[in-house]
Structure 1
Amino acid sequence: MIAVLCGCTTISEVTPAGDGNYTVTTQVRGGMTPWGEVKASSLKRADDYCRQQGKQMHQVDMQTHGVRGWTPQEAELTFSCVAS
């Protein structure tokens, strides 16, 4: 039996969530990806988005869904971009 140790990662585009907030979602299918890595992918996409505007990313909320190794892991980040 061969265990799959890596997964397929998908990171969504940044979308407006209202009230000056945005969301981005990282989804990992398969494998045993640590939750920290799943969350870090969403945080990096959000940080890059805000830096392009000359601002800093401020985390508002982070929701996780799924069970590592059994179901897709998903980290949904809600954030805002604030002046530096």
Structure 2
Amino acid sequence: MKLLICSVFFSTLLAGCATTSEVIPVGKETYRVSAEMGGQFPSWSDVKGLALKKANEFCQSKNMYMVEKDWVTHGSRGWTPLNAELTFTCNKE
């Protein structure tokens, strides 16, 4: 029983979590989205991939394509969750 409890505890601890914010307007035809991941040592490309996916989906819903403008990152791999903020625009095809 102790082994089962320890297994569940450590699985939960190492499982990691990922969140993505809603897309928010931050200027004329400019938007921002952030993504955060913790646990199991995610890479920066994993975190940025989440933000890129959300930004692309947002622009595609407007029949446009996404253009990256700027990235801001926070966190330290293995110590704190990694957070990436993407500022982007949607352009017509």
For these two proteins, the number of residue pairs brought into alignment is 83
Give the aligned partner of residue 69 of structure 1. Answer: 78
Please state whether the residue corresponding to 1:13 is helix, strand or coil: coil
Give the aligned partner of residue 28 of structure 1. Answer: 37
Shift of 1:6: 4.1
Percent sequence identity over aligned pairs: 42
Pick the structure with greater CA Rg: 2
Write the mapping of 1:52-67 to structure 2, written as runs, cut at 5 A. Answer: 52-67=61-76
Stretches of structure 1 that go unaligned for 5 or more consecutive residues are none
Greater RCO, 1 or 2 (C-alpha within 8 Å, sep 6+): 1
TM-score computed with the length of structure 1 as normaliser: 0.91
Q: Structure 1 stretches (4+) deviating beyond 2 angstroms?
A: 2-6
What is the aligned counterpart of 2:17 among 8, 11, 14? 8
How far, CA to CA, are the matches of 2:15 and 2:87 in structure 1?
A: 26
Q: CA RMSD in A?
A: 1.5
TM-score computed with the length of structure 2 as normaliser: 0.82
The structure whose residues are more often helix, as a share, is 2
Shift of 1:20: 1.3
Give the aligned partner of residue 87 of structure 2. Answer: 78
How far, CA to CA, are the matches of 2:14 and 2:41 in structure 1?
A: 6
How far, CA to CA, are the matches of 2:73 and 2:81 in structure 1?
A: 10
The structure whose residues are more often strand, as a share, is 1
